Structure 1
Amino acid sequence: MGPRIDGDRKMTVVDCHAHALPPSVQNAFVDWLKTSGATSEGPPGLWSSPAFSDVDLHLADADRHDIETTILTYGSNTVAAMHAAAQRESPKPAAETMIARTNDALRSWAAHTSNRLMPTRWVDPRFPDSAVSEIERAATDGGVAAISMNSAYGDPASGLRFLDDPGFGPTLRAAEAADVVVIVHPSAKFSLNSQPPLTGTANHLLTGGLSMLVETTTCISRLILSGVFDKNPKLRMVFSQLGGVLPMAFGRFDMLRDLVSVADETATKAVSALPSLRDYADFIFADTHSMDVAALKCGIEALGSNHLIFGSDFPVTPSHIGREQALKTLDALPLDPVEQIAVRSSNARKLFGLNPTPPRQEMAS
Structure 2
Amino acid sequence: MAPTPIVDIHTHIYPTTYLTLLRSRTEVPYLLDLPNKSAPPRLIILPSDDDPALPAHQRGRPIDSSYSSINQKLDFMKTHDIHTSVISLANPWLDFLSPEEGYQWAEKVNNEIEDICSTSQNSLYAFATLPLSAPSRSIVAAIECLYLLPHMRGVVLGTTGLSQGLDDPALEPVWSALESAKLLIFLHPHYGLPSSVYGPRASEYGHVLPLALGFPMETTIAFTRMWLSGVFDRHPKLKVLIAHAGGTIPFLSGRVNSCVQHERHFPEHEYGGRGPKRDLKEVLRENVWLDAVVYSPTSVKAAVEIVGKDRVLFGTDHPFFPPLEEGREEWMSVETNVQAVTEAFGDDKQGVTKVLGGNAIELLELNVAGAG
Q: Say yes or no: does 1:237 pair with 2:240.
A: yes
**Equivalent residue runs for 1:6-17 within 5 Å:** 12-17=5-10
Please report how far the alpha carbon of residue 195 of structure 1 lies from its aligned counterpart in structure 2 after TM superposition: 6.7
State the partner residue of 1:150. Answer: 158
Q: Say yes or no: does 1:113 pair with 2:111.
A: no
- Evaluate the alpha carbon distance shift between residue 200 and residue 39 of structure 1 in structure 2; reply closer, same or farther with a 3 A threshold: farther
Task: Measure, in 2, the Cα distance between the counterparts of 1:285 and 1:66.
Answer: 23
Secondary structure at the counterpart of residue 79 of structure 1: coil
Gaps of 5+ in 2: 25-29, 34-41, 50-57, 323-329
Indicate conservation of the 8 Å contact 2:291/2:315, yes or no: yes
* One-letter code aligned to 2:370: P
Q: Compare the two structures and name the one with the higher helix fraction.
A: 1
Indicate conservation of the 8 Å contact 2:102/2:133, yes or no: no
Please report how far the alpha carbon of residue 39 of structure 1 lies from its aligned counterpart in structure 2 after TM superposition: 5.5
State the partner residue of 1:89. Answer: none
* One-letter code aligned to 1:40: L
Q: Say yes or no: does 1:33 pair with 2:34.
A: no
Task: Measure, in 2, the Cα distance between the counterparts of 1:204 and 1:147.
Answer: 26
Q: Say yes or no: does 1:137 pair with 2:145.
A: yes
Task: Measure, in 1, the Cα distance between the counterparts of 2:222 and 2:239.
Answer: 14
- Evaluate the alpha carbon distance shift between residue 325 and residue 267 of structure 1 in structure 2; reply closer, same or farther with a 3 A threshold: closer
Please report how far the alpha carbon of residue 260 of structure 1 lies from its aligned counterpart in structure 2 after TM superposition: 4.8
Please report how far the alpha carbon of residue 115 of structure 1 lies from its aligned counterpart in structure 2 after TM superposition: 2.4
Q: Say yes or no: does 1:212 pair with 2:207.
A: no
* One-letter code aligned to 2:113: L
State the partner residue of 2:77. Answer: 62
Match of 1:123 among 123, 127, 130: 130
Superposed CA deviations along residues 57-100 of structure 1, whole A, max 9, x for unmatched, are 111111111111100112323237x85xx9xxxxx982211111
Gaps of 5+ in 1: 87-91, 156-160, 361-365
Task: Measure, in 1, the Cα distance between the counterparts of 2:357 and 2:174.
Answer: 28
Task: Measure, in 1, the Cα distance between the counterparts of 2:111 and 2:226.
Answer: 30
State the partner residue of 2:197. Answer: 194
* One-letter code aligned to 1:254: N
Task: Measure, in 2, the Cα distance between the counterparts of 1:359 and 1:120.
Answer: 21
Match of 1:343 among 342, 352, 355: 355
Please report how far the alpha carbon of residue 17 of structure 1 lies from its aligned counterpart in structure 2 after TM superposition: 0.5
Task: Measure, in 1, the Cα distance between the counterparts of 2:267 and 2:161.
Answer: 34
Indicate conservation of the 8 Å contact 2:85/2:123, yes or no: yes
**Equivalent residue runs for 1:1-365 within 5 Å:** 5=2, 12-26=5-19, 29=22, 32-34=30-32, 38=44, 40=46, 46-79=61-94, 94-127=101-134, 128-153=136-161, 155=163, 161-191=164-194, 193-194=196-197, 196-202=199-205, 204-257=207-260, 259-260=262-263, 269=268, 272-275=273-276, 276-281=279-284, 282-318=286-322, 320-335=331-346, 336-358=348-370
Secondary structure at the counterpart of residue 331 of structure 2: helix
The CA RMSD measured in Å over matched residues stands at: 3.0
Task: Measure, in 2, the Cα distance between the counterparts of 1:342 and 1:95.
Answer: 37
Secondary structure at the counterpart of residue 72 of structure 1: strand
Indicate conservation of the 8 Å contact 1:122/1:149, yes or no: yes
Task: Measure, in 2, the Cα distance between the counterparts of 1:236 and 1:349.
Answer: 15
Task: Measure, in 1, the Cα distance between the counterparts of 2:332 and 2:92.
Answer: 21
- Evaluate the alpha carbon distance shift between residue 257 and residue 103 of structure 1 in structure 2; reply closer, same or farther with a 3 A threshold: closer
Indicate conservation of the 8 Å contact 1:18/1:311, yes or no: yes
- Evaluate the alpha carbon distance shift between residue 108 and residue 359 of structure 1 in structure 2; reply closer, same or farther with a 3 A threshold: closer
State the partner residue of 1:363. Answer: none
Once structures 1 and 2 are overlaid, which stretch shifts more, 171-180 or 116-125? 116-125
Indicate conservation of the 8 Å contact 2:6/2:83, yes or no: yes
Task: Measure, in 2, the Cα distance between the counterparts of 1:268 and 1:131.
Answer: 32
Larger RCO (CA within 8 A; separation ≥ 6): 1
Task: Measure, in 1, the Cα distance between the counterparts of 2:73 and 2:268.
Answer: 54
Task: Measure, in 2, the Cα distance between the counterparts of 1:49 and 1:353.
Answer: 32
Task: Measure, in 1, the Cα distance between the counterparts of 2:215 and 2:185.
Answer: 18
* One-letter code aligned to 1:176: E
Task: Measure, in 2, the Cα distance between the counterparts of 1:201 and 1:326.
Answer: 27
Secondary structure at the counterpart of residue 18 of structure 1: strand
Task: Measure, in 2, the Cα distance between the counterparts of 1:22 and 1:114.
Answer: 19
TM-score (norm 2): 0.81
State the number of aligned residues: 336
- Evaluate the alpha carbon distance shift between residue 309 and residue 201 of structure 1 in structure 2; reply closer, same or farther with a 3 A threshold: farther
**Sequence identity, in percent?**
21
- Evaluate the alpha carbon distance shift between residue 243 and residue 30 of structure 1 in structure 2; reply closer, same or farther with a 3 A threshold: farther
Task: Measure, in 2, the Cα distance between the counterparts of 1:258 and 1:167.
Answer: 27
Please report how far the alpha carbon of residue 230 of structure 1 lies from its aligned counterpart in structure 2 after TM superposition: 0.8
Secondary structure at the counterpart of residue 272 of structure 1: coil
* One-letter code aligned to 1:18: T
- Evaluate the alpha carbon distance shift between residue 24 and residue 16 of structure 1 in structure 2; reply closer, same or farther with a 3 A threshold: same
- Evaluate the alpha carbon distance shift between residue 260 and residue 78 of structure 1 in structure 2; reply closer, same or farther with a 3 A threshold: closer
